[in-house]
Amino acid sequence: MNTQRFSNKGRSHWSDSSGWRAVIGEDFTFQNVKLLTQAVASQVKAKGEEMTRRGVVVGYDSRFLSSEFAKAVSCVLAANGICVFLTEKETPTPVVAHEIWRRGAGAGISITASHNPPEYSGMKFFQSSFEEDLISITREIRKRANSLMPEEVKEISYTEGVKNGLIQVIDPVPFYLDHIKSLINTSLIRDARLKVVVDPMYGTSKGILPGIFKEVGCRILSLHTKSDPLFGGQVPDPKYETLREMARVVVNSSAHLGVATDGDADRFGIVDRDGRYIEPNQTFALLLHHLLKTRRCNEGVVVKNIATSHFIDAICKRRGIKVIETPVGFKYICEVMKREKVLIGGEESGGITIHGHIPEKDGILACLLMAEVVATERKGLGEILQDLYDKIGSFLYKRINIPIDEEGKKRLLDNLDSNPPTDFSGLEVREIVSASGGKKFMLKDGSWIFFRPSNTEEIVRCYIDTDTEEKLQKLAQAGERFIREA
C-alpha cells in the first residue's frame, strides 16, 4: 500500500474540498490518474447499479495533455461498466458542474488545475447531483487510491468504449448557456449597449465568454482567446497583477467594463472603466447590493467564508438579512446551499454563485452579472462602490502571502495558541476565533486580522479588513512582522 501517493508532498497537492493537483510528468502521470480514477469508479459502483447507470460526466481544461488525460479517465470508468459522458472539447468547470446537475449524473471529474501555473494539471471531483458531502467522499477516494496497486486498475481502449456505448461524447455548452441567460437580465444589458473588454486568459472560457457577451448586445474587445497551454507565460489567475494589460485596453478603448476568468472559468476578475481593479470582496458586495435592489429578494441567507470582508455583513445588517460564515473552501458554501435558500454565496478569492444556479462557483456568471450592474446603474463601478461606502462605511481589504516552511508554520501556530497577541498596531484584540486551521483576531474598532497557514503551499496567508488606508498599511506591517518573528 502506498499511503503517500496522493498527499501533500513536494509539488503534489491534495484538497479534500476539490481534489488533487500536481506537476505534469512529475506526479501527475497517466498511471496516477488511472489509479485515482479506479478509486472513483469503486466509489460510484459502491452506490449501486443506479449510480453506475447514471454515469460520470468527464471534462477537461486547455492545459498540456488534458484531453488525453480525460480519455484515460473515461477508459478506466468504462472498463468498470460505468457510463461516461465526455465533453467534446475543453470545457469550463462550471459547465461540467451544470451538466452533472442537468443529467442527474452519478458523479463528475474535470481534468483541471484551475488558476495554477501551466506546469500543473489536476483532477477535480463532483458529487452525485450535489446531494452528498463531497469532502467525505473525496477523503474516501483518496484512501482507496492510496491502497491500490497499478495492476488493479481496469481499462479498455477508447475505441472500444465508444463502440460499446459506454463512452459518449457530448456538448454541454448550449444547455449551460440557456440556463445562464435565464439568471441575468439580458434585455437590460442589450439596451445599455455596453463596450466590454473580455479576457479568458487563454483558458476554457475563450469559446464562451466573448460569444455570450456579444449575444447579449455588448460591443466587445477580446484578449487572449487563442489556444496556449502556457497561458501567455503567466499564471491564469485573474488578479490585479495579471490584468494590467486588460486594464490598459479598457481605458484606451473607453470601455465600460473589463471582465476575465481564470484557467477553468470558475473564478473572475473585474476592471472598472477607469482601469481600476475591483477586488473580489468589492465585487461580491456590488453583486449582493444589486441583487437585493433588483430581485427584491429579502428571504434567504447570504453565505461567505471566514476570510471574506465584513463589507458583506454590513450590507446584510442594513437589510436585516442573516449571514452564515463558513470555513475557507467553496464546498462549505455549497453545503449551506443544500439546506438553505442562499441569495448569494461568495469568497474573497473570486468565487460566486447565486440562488437558482448550481452550488459551484462560476466566473462566467459573475462577469455577466457585473455587466448587468453597470447596465442598471449607468455609471462606473467605483462610483457605485463609493455610494455604498457613503451609506454603510468604508471597508478596505488586503491579503498577504508570506513564505514560511513547515517548521515555521508549526512555530506560528504554537505561538498563536500559547501566546496570542493582545493588540495589533495599537488596536486591542477583543475576540479570537479559531477557524480553517488558523486564528482570526477581532479588533476593538471593528477591524480584523486572520492568519491561516496553507495546507498545500509553504506560505501563511494574512488577511486584513479595516476602514482606512492608514490602518490597512499598519496592520499589514504588524501581521507580517508577527509571522516573520514566529
What CATH number does residue 469 fall under?
3.30.310.50
In a domain, 7, yes or no: no
Within this chain, do residues 251 and 157 fall inside the same structural domain, yes or no? no
Within this chain, do residues 364 and 226 fall inside the same structural domain, yes or no? yes
Strand bridging mode 427-435 / 423-424: antiparallel
CA-CA distance, 362 to 359, in Å (whole number)? 9
Residue 117 pLDDT level (bands cut at 50, 70, 90): very high
Burial 73-102 (b: 16+ CB within 10 A, else e): bbbbbbbbebbbbbbeebbbbbbbbbbbbe
Query: In the listed set 375, 392, 409, which residue is the last one of a domain according to the structure?
Result: 392
For the stretch 299-335, pLDDT in tens is 899 999 999 999 999 999 999 999 999 999 898 998 8
Within this chain, do residues 242 and 340 fall inside the same structural domain, yes or no? yes
Q: Taking residues 234-248, report their average pLDDT.
A: 96
In a domain, 253, yes or no: yes
Within this chain, do residues 241 and 363 fall inside the same structural domain, yes or no? yes
For the stretch 184-217, pLDDT in tens is 999 999 999 999 999 999 999 999 999 999 999 9
Which range of residues forms the domain containing residue 364?
Answer: 190-392
Confidence at residue 203, expressed as pLDDT on a 0 to 100 scale = 98
Within this chain, do residues 251 and 275 fall inside the same structural domain, yes or no? yes
Report the SS3 class of residue 5: coil
Confidence at residue 471, expressed as pLDDT on a 0 to 100 scale = 96
The CATH number given to whatever domain includes residue 103 is 3.40.120.10
In a 10 Å sphere around its CB, with 0-12 CB exposed, 13-18 middle and 19+ buried, how is residue 57 labelled?
buried
Within this chain, do residues 376 and 424 fall inside the same structural domain, yes or no? no
In a domain, 199, yes or no: yes
Q: Are 426 and 477 in contact (CB under 8 A)?
A: no
Q: Report whether pLDDT(131) > 70.
A: no
In a domain, 304, yes or no: yes
In a domain, 350, yes or no: yes
Q: Report whether pLDDT(427) > 70.
A: yes
Q: Are 416 and 482 in contact (CB under 8 A)?
A: no
Q: Angle between the 30-46 and 134-147 helix axes, to the nearest 10 degrees?
A: 120
Within this chain, do residues 17 and 148 fall inside the same structural domain, yes or no? yes
Within this chain, do residues 403 and 310 fall inside the same structural domain, yes or no? no
pLDDT over 90 percentage in the chain? 82
Within this chain, do residues 165 and 295 fall inside the same structural domain, yes or no? no
Query: In the listed set 146, 175, 204, which residue is the last one of a domain according to the structure?
Result: 175
Q: Taking residues 443-472, report their average pLDDT.
A: 93
For the stretch 334-361, pLDDT in tens is 889 988 999 999 999 999 999 999 999 9
Confidence at residue 438, expressed as pLDDT on a 0 to 100 scale = 92
In a domain, 185, yes or no: no
CA-CA distance, 465 to 131, in Å (whole number)? 34
Confidence at residue 99, expressed as pLDDT on a 0 to 100 scale = 97
Within this chain, do residues 286 and 360 fall inside the same structural domain, yes or no? yes
Within this chain, do residues 376 and 233 fall inside the same structural domain, yes or no? yes
pTM of the model: 0.95
The C-alpha cell 463531497 sits at 134
Q: What is the number of domains present in the chain?
A: 3
Report the SS3 class of residue 422: coil
In a domain, 239, yes or no: yes
Q: Report whether pLDDT(446) > 70.
A: yes
Residue 13 pLDDT level (bands cut at 50, 70, 90): confident
Confidence at residue 89, expressed as pLDDT on a 0 to 100 scale = 97
Confidence at residue 265, expressed as pLDDT on a 0 to 100 scale = 98
Confidence at residue 199, expressed as pLDDT on a 0 to 100 scale = 98
In a domain, 3, yes or no: no
Within this chain, do residues 107 and 40 fall inside the same structural domain, yes or no? yes
Helix (H), strand (E) at residue 346: strand 342-347
Residue 2 pLDDT level (bands cut at 50, 70, 90): low
Q: Are 232 and 83 in contact (CB under 8 A)?
A: no
